[in-house]
Structure 1
């Protein structure tokens, strides 16, 4: 078992031919918002002359910006039917995705698309970096040098100086099974004004990949043992969302004191491949 003192801080598809792409683009353009040029997807609401606007732009307008006719709630069932048979480009096409998808495929693909941009997952920083998933680990290694990586599926995460007042994050990486997991311990004040700790594992990978693992967090002291098991969240998800759902280990300072030794908190971390 390794030890660490942490530092604060879709399925494959034939590539479409050029003629196929041109035809798909022409059909997709029929569903462009007249104002922002994003695609208007069902339910499709149009002005009385047939001009389309996405939900966001529709809320900003009192009348059609093209023909100036007043807005009415006119739903185009015919266009919705056609939209269900059109292949739209992935919204991450500017980042390099060349997939064209039906509406039924589009949302699931975009949630997993390898060309979607990600923000820096390191908590407790104001890092403005954005990039592809494959660039996240090189970015963390290069720009967040305080984050140390341990190899192995069973390690000890030692959060040093746990009694320092105020909001603090302890972060480390665990590498095993060909993946990298970010382990995070956060200390912050809850809505009642008391300090609480949030501990979680986040996979630098897709939600589908995350479902293949279980992580176990274990705190031990004399005659006491606290264990949490769960599916790691994906880098597609956010730690505050998991905390709000209660999908992580949450414990208050009064419980933490039973496991603190010499000002440090040791958490045994085990990654299990399902």
Structure 2
């Protein structure tokens, strides 16, 4: 495959850009009577060329297709340090996993922080501007307490060893449900190596809920995570049973590397870490790892 520099790559990518969806065209690339290109996906919904309104001939642009298959272009993050040069087919996938891709700040109120930078600078920025939203720990369990009515919807940055996770919470007033998800900040492939356990206990200790979910990539939206069901979900009426007298609700989040998730602590150790003495909780802990997502309430 032929490799090109950044300037040439920009020109080639503009030539390969579909005039309708603005995405990079891949084989098959179709032509109109006047020689304008369009991607195959958009062509299915068109009767005339979007550029000149001429009809399509059904002819493919074989030269452009070959170029899209053979050329290797540098990553869009090359100026930030990425040295990868990839085919057109691989470049889109690489954008979401590139360790040099820019990250936007997700802490604070929506769109309240305009910071954007490298993954290695996220923690420094968070400590300077959002100190109250940063949890650092050498262990993998984070205890969180929030006011149920006022401050439950939040974004919290959690660090475990040298890895960074984002704890995201969301309310849906129409459906009367509350959601929580953990996302890994970094290469998308690394997110699949982790799982997390969400645990709720009522103030009196009579009710418990344990949920085991997969950690998702920070490239996914909260809406998408809710859609696929890889998050903690609880309706308002059920949640009230876990709210204390002062209107505060507390929970623990246990983030673990997937190969060892739930294997290195006995039920007795786990129970002591949460300060629980009731035997039903031990069976909850043992059962919660039997399926990808397990709910248990007493």
| 1:72 partnered with 2:56 | yes
Q: Do 1:33 and 1:53's aligned partners in 2 also have CA atoms closer than 8 Å?
A: no
User: For 1:1-274, what aligned pairs fall within 5 Å after superposition?
Assistant: 20-21=3-4, 25=8, 29=12, 32-33=15-16, 39-53=24-38, 63=49, 65=51, 68=52, 70-72=54-56, 74-76=58-60, 78-79=62-63, 80-93=65-78, 97-122=82-107, 124-127=109-112, 128-151=114-137, 152-159=139-146, 161-164=147-150, 168-191=152-175, 194=176, 196-221=177-202, 222-262=205-245, 263-274=247-258
Partner Cα distance (2:108, 2:41) in 1: 30
Matched positions, count: 249
- Structure with more of its chain in helix, by fraction: 2
Which piece of structure 1 moves more, 245-254 or 174-183? 174-183
Using CA pairs under 8 Å that are at least 6 residues apart, name the structure with larger relative contact order, 1 or 2: 1
TM-score normalised by the chain length of structure 2? 0.69
- Segments of 5+ residues of structure 2 without an aligned counterpart are 259-298
Q: Do 1:48 and 1:69's aligned partners in 2 also have CA atoms closer than 8 Å?
A: no
Tell me the CA shift for residue 125 of structure 1: 2.2
SS across alignment from 2:56 = coil
Q: Do 2:97 and 2:186's aligned partners in 1 also have CA atoms closer than 8 Å?
A: no
Tell me the CA shift for residue 172 of structure 1: 2.8
- Segments of 5+ residues of structure 1 without an aligned counterpart are 1-15
When residues 198 and 124 of structure 1 are mapped into structure 2, their CA distance, relative to the original with a 3 A threshold, is farther
- Aligned Cα RMSD in Å? 3.7
